[in-house]
Structure formats: C-alpha cells, structure tokens
Copies of this chain bind each other. A is one copy, B any other.
Amino acid sequence: MRVNFSKEDFNVAIATSVVLYGFDGDDLKILIAEKAGEPFAGAHILPSSVVHINEDPEDVAIELMRRITGSADWPIEILNAFAEVYRNPEGRVVNVAYYGTLQLNETLSQDLLRSEYKWVKVNDIPPLAFDHNKIVDYSRERLKRRVKRRPIGFSLLPKEFTMNQIQRLYECALGRDLDKRNFRRKLLKSELLLETDHFVRSSAKARRPSALYKFDEKKYRSLTLRGYDFVYQ
C-alpha cells in the first residue's frame, strides 16, 4: 500500500481550541472569547490558538489554558479533529480540539471579567464562528459520558463542597433532575467522598448550614488501578 505525500499536500495549518468548563455552584459554564481581526472580527469563538509546525497541539492547548487562567494544572482531554474542508476561509485548517475543567474561584472570575473572555451558561451558548458550536456540542456529549463513568465532577468543584453543589453539577452535566436521597446514597457508597467538619451557609437567606465534603484522591487512585468504574446512570 502506497501513501505518498506530494509537496502540495503540505498546505494545511493546525489550530487548537479548548472548551473550558467551569461551575459556579448554580450553573455549568464555558468560556468564550471575542475574535479580533478578520475573518469574523467581533464574533464569538472558543479560546483558540495556532499550532505551529513544530508544536504538539496538546502542549499548545495547555499553554492556552495557562495564558487564560494563570495555571496549566487543569485536566484536559482531547476531543477530536474537526477537519472539514472550508471550515476556515483563510485556508485549510484542521482544528484539534480539547476540553478542560477548572475550579472557578473569586480571583479567577474577577481576572477573567476584566479580560476578553466571558463565561456563558451551557444552556445559553451564542452562535460561534467557524464550526465552534459543533465542537461545544461534541464536548458536552463527552462530559456527559465522563461524568457518568469517572468522578470527573470533582475537578470542577472547589476543594470542599456541599452535596447540593455536586448534585447540581451532575444535574447540569446530565441535563436532568436527580433525586436527592438516591444521589447522596450513591455518592457515599462510592467512598470517594470524605466528610470534613466544616459547614457553610449556602446563601444569604436564612437556612441550615451544609456539611462540606472533599474528594478522596488517594482512594480514587487506588480504585482506578483496580479498574474501577464510577457509574452514575
């Protein structure tokens, strides 16, 4: 079998885009940017970057996240290549897309507010340039699957979180309501949660404080080694 490239075949560029998920306690959100420069100046796009000829798309995606959030330590996972002809009017561009999750906190939110980025609720995503809406849809399907099989939700929550927060997160990711008692039972049975002795008042209005839990990473690592599957149907 012959696979021969000619000089004209080397005329494609690589870009990478990242669907960055954050959860503010109420809503699951993704980060979008406003495009500067033609084509599509002013349009909304996913955070994106050119991948130069000697760069690895994953490294570029990680660097992109570092530029945006100040940290490169957020988990990311490759989504797919989006490589249809004419997706970019500048020339043939293959987009190697990733998605990542991060823990929203006040500082990060404030920094981003002053930047060219903004958070939009996943149920309220505006039209994006290129085929970025397709990439977002693809990433949501992936997140839905991941959240069912791996306790990936923890990477979106602060170190300590309430049962209601994590349930709300799962409801956002799965797009349906879950029963409070069944959810708690299932999560506690997994033994991936450690109870702390901390409590918070969740909002200004009067109410009972919630117990805070944290994720047992050590336990998770030992379980994954044994081929553990965290299932939430």
Contacts and interface: CB of A to CB of B under 8 A. Distances in A.
A122 B9 CA distance: 32
Nearest to A16: B83
A33 interface: yes
A4 interface: yes
Contacts of A81: 57, 78, 80-81, 83, 94, 96
A90 B5 contact: yes
Interface stretch (A42-50, A165-173, A182-190): A42-50
A8 interface: yes
Report which residue of A33, A53, A93 has the largest number of chain B beta carbons within 10 angstroms of its beta carbon: A53
A1 B36 contact: yes
Given A5-B50, A45-B3, A13 B12 contact: yes
A12 B47 CA distance: 22
A4 to B, nearest CB: 6
Contact of A54 (B5, B35, B85): B85
A56 B85 contact: yes
A56 B87 CA distance: 11
Nearest to A82: B81
Given A81-B94, A85-B55, A85-B56, A9 B5 contact: no
23 contacts: A1-B36, A2-B36, A3-B35, A3-B45, A4-B37, A5-B13, A5-B91, A9-B52, A9-B53, A10-B13, A11-B11, A12-B12, A12-B53, A14-B94, A54-B85, A56-B83, A56-B85, A57-B83, A80-B80, A81-B83, A81-B96, A83-B94, A94-B96
